[in-house]
Chains A and B, each alone.
Chain A
Amino acid sequence: MADFYGKIGLLTPTVSIAPRDTGPANPTASITMLGGQQLEVPTFQVPTRNPYRISNVWRYPFSGQYGNTLTTGGQAQCPIIRGSGSGHVQKAWLRIQVQNQGTSNVEMQPVPLWIQSTQWQTPSGATIQNPTGSHLWFNLVTTTPMEEWWEVSKAVAADLDYETGDPVPPNAVVTYYIPLIGSFLSAGGFFIPAVSGGMRCTLPSGQMEAFEAPEPVLKPLPS
């Protein structure tokens, strides 16, 4: 079949292993201590990356009318103002804080499924990516190992079986974080110095109801 033409090349061995291709059995490296002493140390003890780099966490607020978005839908925008942070971005999360202003417990679907769609835009408004809430959910659950999901599930109102998580008691304020797996910010990281655009987040507008019946009084709070 034409579709598998590329695999024909595999039938001809093109790789051979010669002794020069393999490293030494116990590789060592010569290093100079701060006092000037010379040492031969195993290579695994030598940092392969700059040990003086640091990481920090930055948060950018959303704007828009999102006080009733969980029941009536709406949009929120978040400009990512580079220059206020520094360096490359390695990971991104979406932070949503809500308060149960009703009188009974609220049980919600996992938080990524509250979202209808998101959109990353360049400063001029061109679309970079437009993952839906389902994309965010599938990206998260398919790339998170179980030992990590044990913790992460709490951050997105889910449980170990990918079911609804802890109910929100009346008056309680809960903060959720959605890891934006697969966003162009998270992946790669080398585009960032050129980016001063923002993210637009569209919350459900009627056809998606992420709550268990009856309808809750759950209000997103300003960031």
Chain B
Amino acid sequence: MLQRTTELFRSRRFDYIIPYYKNQTFQQALTAGQLTTLNLSNISGDVVYLDIAIRSSYVQDDLSHYQPIASFQYQNQEGVGISGQQFIDDQFSRHIMYPKQNEGTFTRNRRFYRHVFADSNVAPKALLEQDLKLGAYPFDSHCNLLMNNAQAGSNEVWSLSQSSTTAPTAGNIIWGWVTPDDSI
């Protein structure tokens, strides 16, 4: 066993790398329910994972609260899906893939979409904590992110009917609500 491991280390080149962060910011209006295509011209080189966070602004609560998208797909220059055959929807990304590949419960209530290109569930953590690249997709600045924007929300409507016999003739009505786990 030890001999085989030693031979493996001698025969293979292991890459110890510094994770290098690239960031591409788009400032544009998104139309609810429509497809948005973004050219990731700033993203080139081996990419272990990519994150999507859509902020309404860069102030106060919007710094840590992000807007939803219905589904997304990464495509190469030829329009071939490189994140899979189909679009990855919000639920699958946040509640199935994220907990498999990351720690914590950040996406439980946050519209944060991470896609891991490496064929390893521990790839993000290995990259950030051990300088290990366990797989990556070679981006070439011509790849695209396609997003189906979330449908427009609708206001929740509650109606209140007053009793004709017991209703007060004056006063105030106050609505209160509780979101115990900060669901949004």
Contacts and interface: CB of A to CB of B under 8 A. Distances in A.
Given A143-B104, A187-B131, A209-B58, 18 more contacts: A1-B80, A3-B80, A109-B64, A110-B64, A113-B63, A129-B21, A138-B51, A142-B102, A142-B103, A144-B103, A182-B21, A182-B128, A187-B127, A190-B16, A191-B18, A208-B58, A208-B63, A209-B60
B150 to A, nearest CB: 20
Contact of A3 (B51, B53, B59, B76): B76
Interface string B160-184: 0000000000000000000001100
B131 A21 contact: no
Interface string A113-132: 10000000000000011111
A21 B129 CA distance: 30
B4 A21 contact: yes
Interface of A: 1, 3, 20-23, 109-110, 113, 128-132, 134-135, 137-139, 141-146, 149, 161-164, 181-182, 184, 186-188, 190-191, 207-213
Contacts, number: 107
Contact of B182 (A23, A161, A186, A208): A161
B72 interface: no
Contacts of B56: none
A109 B16 contact: no
B19 interface: yes
Interface residues of B, number: 38
A184 to B, nearest CB: 4
A141 B104 contact: yes
Interface string B76-92: 10001010000000000
B110 A162 contact: yes
B117 to A, nearest CB: 10
B125 interface: yes
Nearest to B129: A187
Interface string B15-56: 010111101000000000000000000000000000101000
B14 to A, nearest CB: 12
Contact of B59 (A141, A146, A208): A208
Given A139-B128, A182-B129, A146 B105 contact: yes
Contacts of A209: 58-60
A184 B18 contact: yes
B43 to A, nearest CB: 14
B157 interface: no
